[in-house]
């Protein structure tokens, strides 16, 4: 896609293009980096992220794999232990469950069990989230599950800047990193500095300053939350929006600083409510800033059902702007 010039030194591109540029940049920086996964080569990737990379880097570095997530994820782990820097693409987060043994019992544990003799500098990218009518088998938001596991980084880029900048830093970590790319973001466009480079992957970001309530979210829900904050501003509620960016480790300092100042909080999480990431964040607030709160903590999560195929039901099952607005108003006692 042609990149439209916005002003000198800035381009507009899609989230998809930003991910592609991140992969291209990493491969140019380090010849140990390669991409592997189903249809990443000739087809250009399930979401067209790797389109054109096979022609640029060749089949040794853009590797189409068989339909065996356990097999090629294990191969990526072995390559990382041997000194390479693999990027493994899993089509959707539900397919990562077929590689869960490799991720959980091998990639996560090797550095610990080897006494730091071996690292696994591996990045696993996968599409996550609902909204594309991919029905109950392909509409999961399971990043909260992975955020439960010690020994990995769990990243959720929500902006083109983070989609472009997180990958290289993740590849520098001796432990594996999982990058969750929400399916609803691939077509989103944003502005990116022409000299954009790696970004800090340990810190949350304040995407909208505010004084009355903290809205805490990540990934695809960020943009709905920002829209909700605009609606709330029209009702004299000044909402601060926090983009977590990293789900493991969580940036407690940024979260708690915000909540201690606004004294109210809503967590927006596309995962299911029970045992969710939102529950963990809420409990951390209770442990760290309970005495600063002026109201109960609220949360907006997906309905506890397999995500439906029908568009109106799918929309009803996942967090939307009206749900976020209503939850925030409820914290202030407004029906």
Active site residue 7: no
Sign of the C-alpha dihedral, residues 227, 230, 234, 239?
A: positive
CA gap 203, 294 in Å, rounded: 26
**Per annotation, catalytic residue among 138, 161, 227, 292:** 138
How far are the Cα atoms of 118, 138, 324 from residue 93, in angstroms, in the given order?
27, 8, 25
Residues whose CB falls within 8 Å of the CB of residue 18, separated by 6 or more in sequence, listed in order: 160, 161, 163, 164, 190, 192
CA gap 155, 152 in Å, rounded: 10
Among residues 79, 99, 89, 29, which one has the least CA distance to residue 57? 29
CA gap 335, 320 in Å, rounded: 17
Among residues 251, 308, 301, which one has the least CA distance to residue 271? 301
**Per annotation, catalytic residue among 21, 38, 69, 240:** 69
The residue to which tokens 């990193």 are assigned: 177
Active site residue 148: no
- Active-site annotation, residues: 69, 138
């Amino acid at each position: 896609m042609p990149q439209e010039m916005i002003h000198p030194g800035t381009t507009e591109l899609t989230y998809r293009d930003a991910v592609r540029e991140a992969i291209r940049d990493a491969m140019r920086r380090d010849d140990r980096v390669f991409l592997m996964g189903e249809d990443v080569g000739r087809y250009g990737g399930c979401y067209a992220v790797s389109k054109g990379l096979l022609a640029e880097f060749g089949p040794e570095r853009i590797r189409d794999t068989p339909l065996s997530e356990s097999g090629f994820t294990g191969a990526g782990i072995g390559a990382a232990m041997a000194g390479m820097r693999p990027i493994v693409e899993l089509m959707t987060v539900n397919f990562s469950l077929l590689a869960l043994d490799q991720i959980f019992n091998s990639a996560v544990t090797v550095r610990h069990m080897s006494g730091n003799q071996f690292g696994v500098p591996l990045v696993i990218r996968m599409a996550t989230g609902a909204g594309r009518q991919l029905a109950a088998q392909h509409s999961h938001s399971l990043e909260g599950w992975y955020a439960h596991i010690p020994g990995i980084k769990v990243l959720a880029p929500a902006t083109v800047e983070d989609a472009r900048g997180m990958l290289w830093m993740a590849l520098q970590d001796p432990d594996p990193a999982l990058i969750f790319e929400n399916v609803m973001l691939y077509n989103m466009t944003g502005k990116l500095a022409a000299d954009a480079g790696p970004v800090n992957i340990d810190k949350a970001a304040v995407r909208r300053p505010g004084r009355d309530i903290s809205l805490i979210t990540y990934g695809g829900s960020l943009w709905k939350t920002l829209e909700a904050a605009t609606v709330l501003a029209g009702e004299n509620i000044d909402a601060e929006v926090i983009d977590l960016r990293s789900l493991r480790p969580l940036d407690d300092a940024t979260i708690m600083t915000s909540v201690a100042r606004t004294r109210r909080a809503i967590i927006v999480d596309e995962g299911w409510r029970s045992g969710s990431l939102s529950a963990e964040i809420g409990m951390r607030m209770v442990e760290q800033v309970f005495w600063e709160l002026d109201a109960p903590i609220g949360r907006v999560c997906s309905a506890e059902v397999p995500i439906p195929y029908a568009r109106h039901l799918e929309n009803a099952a996942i967090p939307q702007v009206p749900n976020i607005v209503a939850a925030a108003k409820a914290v202030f006692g407004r029906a």
